[in-house]
A and B are shown apart, each in its own frame.
Chain A
C-alpha cells in the first residue's frame, strides 16, 4: 500500500507538469491551430529566470512574478515576430517555425544564463511528509495545488468571461468568430501569452523538485505533446487527464514493470489508445470538409 501510494504521488507530481505543458499546447492549438514545439522553453524560462532573479537578490515571490512576466513577453514576441508574419502558411510550416523558435530560445538562454544545472529552494521546506507510509516532498503539494489553481482559473476564464468565450469561439470556428466581430489576432496573442504564463508557472513550481537548465524544454515538449494527444488535441480536460495519466504510467511502469522500459511502456499505451480511439481519449471526431 505504501509502495502504491509512493508511485501514485510520484506519478501525479510529474504528471501535473506534463498536464500544464499539454494545457499550454492546447490553448495555442485551439486559438491558432499551431502545435507549438517551443512550449517546453516556457517551462525552462519560468525556472531559469526565477533562479537568476533570486540569485541577484530579488525575493522569491517577486522573482517568480518577473519570470512569468518575462515568459509572457517572450510568448507575445514569438506570436508577433514568428507566427503572425507566417499567417496562412501550412500547419507543418508553422510547426517548423516553432521548432526554430525552440532552438533560438535555447541558444539565447545558454548565452544569457549559463549551461549549468540550477535549483530553487522548496517553498515550504524539504522535510518529507509521511502519508500512510509514503514519503512525500511538500513541494509535490505545491505542484499539484498550483496545477489545480491554473486549471480552475483557466476554466473560469474560458467559461465565464467575454474574452474567454471569444477564445472558445475562435477555437470552434475561426472564420465564424471573425464574422461575429472577434479580433482573432488579439485572441491568438492572448493564447500565446497565456500559454507562456502556464508554462512559466509549471517551471517555477517544479524546479525545486526537478532542477532546471537551459535545455530542459525539449523533453518536456515531447512529453507534453504526447499527453495532449493522449487526451485528445484541443480539449483542455483531455490535456490535464492525458498529462496525469502519462505521469502515472511512467511511475507505475518504473515501479511495477521495468525502470529501463518505462518510457516504452508509456508510449505503447499511447499507441494502443490511439488505435482504439483515433482522436485520443476526449477528442472530438473531426469531420473533413470536402
Chain B
C-alpha cells in the first residue's frame, strides 16, 4: 500500500504545482500552443523543437514579450500518436484558449490536427515535412520546413549537373520516407531521372544489406537516394560502405540533417550528399550570406542551453515561433484572425531554413535556393560549390 500513498502524494503535488503556475501568471499574457512528438519514434525531431521553443520563449519574455504581452507557452507531447495529437489540439483551443500554434512534429499528427484549427480559425504553423500540409493551401495552416518535394528536386538538380540519370531508391516505410519516396517518383521525369531500383525498409529495421545488395546488383544504377529519417539512414549508410558501394554517388535527405547522423554513420558517411538548410554549415557560410547571422546565433543559443548538437529540426521551430512573433508585432495584436493575415504577408523573413516570402497561394514561402547541397567530408558538413 506504500506505493499507493506515494502516488497520491505525487498526484497531489502535481495538481498543486499546476494550480500555482496558472495562478501566478499575469493577466497580460498571450498563449501560444504546441503539440510535439517529444516522445515516441519521432522524438529526435520533437525534442529539439520542444527545447527550441522553451529557450526562445524565455528569451522573448526576458526582452519584454510581444505586443506588450508575455508569451505563455503550452506544450503537449503526442508521443507520435496522431489521434492523441488531435485531442491535444482540441485541448489547446478549447481549454487553454491559445491564439496560435507552432507545432505538429510529424505529417500524420499535423494532418490530424488541421481540421481542428481550420474550424476554430486559429493560425497553425506546422513543423512537418510533407508537401500535403500546404498543398492545397488552407487558410490557417502554414509550415516552415522545406517540403519533401523540394528535397527530391534539389537532389535531382544536383544529379543532373553530374550527368547521372539512373537512380536507385531505398526508402523508409515511415511517414517521412514514404511521402518523400512518392514525391521523388512523381518529379523524377521532370529532371529526366529514371528510377531503376525501388526498395523499402521498416523504420526500426536494423540491417538493410539485403535491400542494398539488390540495388547493387541492378544493372545501370548510377546513384542511390535514401528518403528516410531517424536511425534508418545511418544504418543504410553503414551498410552501403560495408557492401563497398562507395563508388556509386549516395544521397541522403534533409531528414538526417543533424550532426548525430555523421556521428552514427561514422566513416561510412564520407562523400554522402544531401540537401539541407544553411543552419548546418553556419560557420562555413560567407560573411555576405544573409542567413549567416541568424544561423550562427541560433546554433550558439541552442548548443549552449542543451549541450547537444544543433539540428535543422529545432531550427524549424525557431522559424515558426519568430514568423508568428513578428506577425504579432506587425499586427500589434494577438487576435488570431489579424495574426493569420500578417503571417501570410511575411516577406523577407530570414530564418534558419531560408528566406521566407509567403503569399495567399504559398504558405511555406521557401524556394529551392533555401536548400544547400552539402557533402560530408572529414566528419563535417561542407557546401558543394554549384556546378561540381
Contacts and interface: CB of A to CB of B under 8 A. Distances in A.
Bound together: yes
Interface of A: 3, 6-7, 10-11, 13-14, 17, 110, 114-119, 126, 128, 135-137, 206, 209-211, 213, 215-216, 219, 251-252, 254-255, 259-260, 262-263
A211 B44 contact: no
A185 B298 CA distance: 56
B213 A3 contact: yes
Interface stretch (B15-23, B67-75, B201-209, B329-337): B201-209
Nearest to B267: A126
A259 B201 contact: yes
A115 B39 contact: yes
Contacts of A211: 206, 231, 234-235, 264
A243 to B, nearest CB: 13
Contacts of B206: 14, 17, 206, 209-211
Contact of B207 (A14, A114, A118, A263): A14
A213 B213 contact: no
A210 B308 CA distance: 22
Interface string B209-221: 1110110010000
A117 B43 CA distance: 10
Pick the 5 closest A-B CB pairs, nearest first.
A210-B206, A255-B210, A254-B210, A115-B43, A117-B231
A126 B44 contact: no
B200 A219 contact: no
Nearest to A107: B39
Contact of B260 (A116, A135, A252, A259): A116
Contacts of A263: 202
A210 B210 CA distance: 15
Contact of A10 (B173, B210, B260): B210
A13 B242 CA distance: 15
B271 interface: no
Contacts of B210: 6-7, 10-11, 251-252, 254-255, 259
B103 interface: no
Contacts of A209: 206-207, 235
Given A116-B308, A210-B206, 10 more contacts: A110-B39, A115-B38, A115-B44, A117-B260, A128-B241, A135-B244, A211-B206, A252-B210, A255-B214, A262-B202
A128 B204 CA distance: 23
Given A14-B207, A116-B308, A210-B206, A6 B260 contact: no
A117 B209 contact: no
B242 A119 contact: no
Interface in B124-149: none
A246 to B, nearest CB: 13
A180 B188 CA distance: 73
B264 A117 contact: yes
A206 B209 CA distance: 15
Q: Of residues A17, A115, A118, A254, which shows the largest number of chain B Cβ atoms within 10 Å of its Cβ?
A: A254
Q: How large is the interface on B (under 10, 10 to 19, 20 to 34, 35 or more residues)?
A: 35 or more
A128 B244 contact: yes
Nearest to A255: B210
A114 B308 CA distance: 11
B242 to A, nearest CB: 5
Given A135-B243, A211-B264, A115 B213 contact: no
Interface in B177-207: 199-202, 204, 206-207
A32 B123 CA distance: 55
A136 B241 CA distance: 11
B81 interface: no
A44 B47 CA distance: 20
B342 to A, nearest CB: 35
A3 B217 CA distance: 9
B231 A6 contact: no
B141 to A, nearest CB: 27
A215 B213 contact: no
A259 B44 CA distance: 25
B200 A259 contact: yes
Contact of A216 (B201, B204, B243): B204
B263 interface: yes
Nearest to A207: B206
Contacts of A137: 242
Contacts of B211: 254-255, 259
19 contacts: A3-B217, A6-B213, A7-B210, A10-B207, A10-B210, A14-B207, A17-B206, A117-B44, A119-B264, A126-B266, A126-B268, A135-B244, A209-B207, A213-B44, A215-B40, A219-B204, A252-B210, A255-B213, A260-B173
Contacts of A17: 206
B46 to A, nearest CB: 8
Contacts of B263: 119
B213 A7 contact: yes
B137 to A, nearest CB: 32
A118 B209 CA distance: 20
Contacts of A215: 39-41, 43
Contacts of B365: none
B230 interface: yes
Q: Of residues A206, A252, A262, which shows the largest number of chain B Cβ atoms within 10 Å of its Cβ?
A: A262
